[in-house]
Structure 1
Amino acid sequence: MDKNHFDKEWDAVVIRFRVLVGFKSLNITLKHPKTLSPSKPHIALPDTFKEWKKIKSLCDRRSLMFGVIFDLVGQHMKNWQIANYLTAQRLPLDALDLLIDDTNQLQQETQGNLGEDYVSYCSAIAKTLISLTQYQEALNWVKKASHSAPNNSHIELLKADAYFLSGHCEQANEIYQNHWLIAKKYEQESISKMFSNLLSCQYGTSSSPIFALQIGKQITDPSEAEEFWHLAEAEFYSSPYFRAHHAYHLANEGKVHHSFAKLLALVQEMPWLKEASLNLLRHFEHLDPSGTNLMPEVQTQLRAAIESNGWQNEMN
């Protein structure tokens, strides 16, 4: 990976940061570390460029750049924007801690004097709660946002996800149906073009991890499916639901070891995920019935976490 690749990826990540965090516009002028003249990213950010070259995963390279961008503009961000940043960085517990005081205030308010910020706060809280699997509470918050901004298509799609995750599939599908109609327009397009126009957060009309899973499971051509899941994993890596169900999909495809690796990484990063933890334990039991050969310390920790959370009875 060379300097041109870094510069191109930086520009794309700046756009991604703007969209996910909630800036209406975001212009970052990078400067040469010595002369302070405007410079290309690889020159202005030499340490980041050096670290970036060591990272294979697009998700982790984006995360590195997100951290740099936050250091540059974080002081200008509102709490709901910082929460969106933390959730995108796979730190929803930190996001919830940040928003807790705002949440208590918002419980007592309607849109009032907060204007557009009210909708943004409600949406940010909902996204955070979805990552923490508190789906019904997330639905309550996104309903508040939707009530105040009924024509916001992004909030409606978030509401569909919250409906789906909280078990209200009929209401979710009423919203998803419109996105299926949009998806049909791209049936003859390449996977990359379809994904960019439909599912990417920067340019897509239907950027939802739930909707992406539904589309992915319908792709039957092996090469197209491989390309789709590669793009989708990078796009929705901050979604624990997507990552877990991608792992389940791999298991159903007979790629058990690949599925195991993804579930292991997910549970170690987000130990509050009950279903993923239980399924990871099932993987361990399948791959290592004795519980002594494959990462025994991790197995012990996983079993202890399952027991302490009272999840063990759900193994049967």
Structure 2
Amino acid sequence: MGFFANLFGLRNNRNKRAVPASALTDIDIFDKEFLAAASRYTSRPKGEMNMRVRSEETNEVIPFALAFPEAFEEWKQVKSVWDKRGIIYKVLDNSIRESLKLWQVIERYNIDRYPEHALKIAVEYATGPDLTDANFHMAVARAYFILTRYKEAQERAEKALSLVPNHMKAKILLGDIWHHTHQQERAHDIYNEVLKIKLTSDTRKSLTIHELVGFDSDLLHSPVYAVAMLRGDTAVTESLWDSIACEFYHYPHFRSAHATYLVQKGDYMKAFAKFMTLSREMPWFKEGVINTYSLMQQLGLEPQMTEDKVRLEEIIRKEHWTV
């Protein structure tokens, strides 16, 4: 865990009880996930989402599944949490997007794995008030960070902090940027600073990793910190990696670390599948592309994956990367 080890104690959450999945219907689960997705869509951690839909005929509150039947049917066919959220985001685009501020729209595309589109929207729609909004610069910084354009990301994060010196999200993001630009000690210091501020009145002596880095907890929602915590515990299971991936799938940094964990575990085909998907969705991420290509060679998969081989080689050639 390195320098992350002493920042905060972690509590095992294996004994935490939840409502059995079998006790909930698809309609119940869709309602629950709809509200959770809306919280992320609006960038409101801890926010109590009071969103409800009423029947046009009876004026009674109805489940989201009945209000949006096409989205519900599509949602039922999808397995991954992030793709399920994406379906709900499209529904929200048609219902509440006009009420969002520009920075929230940018974040909506950041967390849905479209950072390039997020930057396009920032350029096209920013007005004078946005340029003096710390949240706007923080959201743009995140898009640059996801794209590994660290210089621009740092400039924007610092701009956000020049406008609001104690902007917690900007501080955390700056820590992530510093970590990936070989300034790990500075990253450690700023993470520690954020935790001290946020936990001033917290009486808990330990937290689970979900409580520490989860979006809803709004403490230290950082892919870098999450990876450090996971790597620092030798007892961590694959299922824990999978559950934390639900928080950080829009970051190539986390996805690459997750795949690397599987390589170290000896699950090469599963790791290869994750690297391959990463290389397709985020071809700008060097580590993902290089590791995909290297694993393809090591596993002898080149003959049956000629299209992907050509695609990867073209990216590597264009970017002047070496394998």
CA RMSD of aligned residues (A): 2.7
Q: Partner of 1:15 in structure 2? A: 39
With over 3 angstroms needed to count, the CA separation of the structure-2 counterparts of 1:115 and 1:258, relative to structure 1, is closer
Correspondent of 2:188 among 173, 185, 200: 173
Amino acid of the structure 1 residue aligned with 2:36 = A
Query: Is the partner of 1:220 in helix, strand or coil?
Result: coil
% identity of equivalent residues: 27
Equivalent residue, structure 2, for 1:271: 283
Paired with 1:76 and 1:83, the residues of 2 have a C-alpha distance of 13
Match of 1:145 in 2: 160
What SS does the corresponding residue of 2:53 show, helix, strand or coil? coil
TM-score (norm 2): 0.82
TM-score normalised by length of structure 1:
0.84
Determine which of 75, 85, 90 is the counterpart of 1:67. 90
Does the 8 Å CA contact 2:106/2:121 hold for their aligned counterparts? yes
- Specify the alignment match of 1:108 in structure 2: none
Output one character per residue of 1:163-200: Cα deviation in whole Å (capped at 9) or x when no partner. 11222222111122356777xx87866xxxx2342111
Q: Quick one: structure 1 residues 298 and 35, their matched pair in 2 at CA, closer, same or farther if it must change by over 3 Å?
A: farther
Pairing 1:123–2:142 present: no
What is the deviation of 1:23? 11
Partner of 2:29: 5
1:74 aligned partner, one-letter code: R
Once the two structures are TM-superposed, the CA of residue 204 in structure 1 deviates from its matched residue by: 3.5
Deviations 1:253-282 (A, max 9, x none): 212111110010011111122221111110
Contact 1:196 1:204 in 2 (8 A): no
How many residue pairs match? The answer is: 295
Could you tell me which runs of 5 or more consecutive residues in structure 2 were left unpaired when the two chains were aligned. 1-24
Q: Do the aligned partners of 1:14 and 1:69 also contact (CA within 8 Å) in 2?
A: yes
Structure 1: state its 5+ residue gaps: 106-112
The equivalences for 1:212-251 within 5 A come to 212-221=226-235, 224-251=236-263
State how 1:1-316 maps to structure 2 within 5 Å.
2-19=26-43, 27-32=50-55, 35=58, 37-101=60-124, 114=129, 118-178=133-193, 194-221=208-235, 224-288=236-300, 291-293=302-304, 295-311=305-321, 314-315=322-323
Q: Describe the SS at the equivalent of 2:95.
A: helix
Moved more, 131-140 or 245-254: 245-254
User: Counterpart of 2:4?
Assistant: none
CA shift at 1:230, angstroms?
1.6
Matched position secondary structure for 2:62: coil
> For residues 33 and 303 of structure 1, what CA distance do their matches in structure 2 show?
55
- Contact 1:139-1:166 within 8 A present in 2 as well: no
CA distance in 2, matches of 1:31, 1:264: 43
Conservation of the 8 A alpha-carbon contact between 1:198 and 1:205:
yes
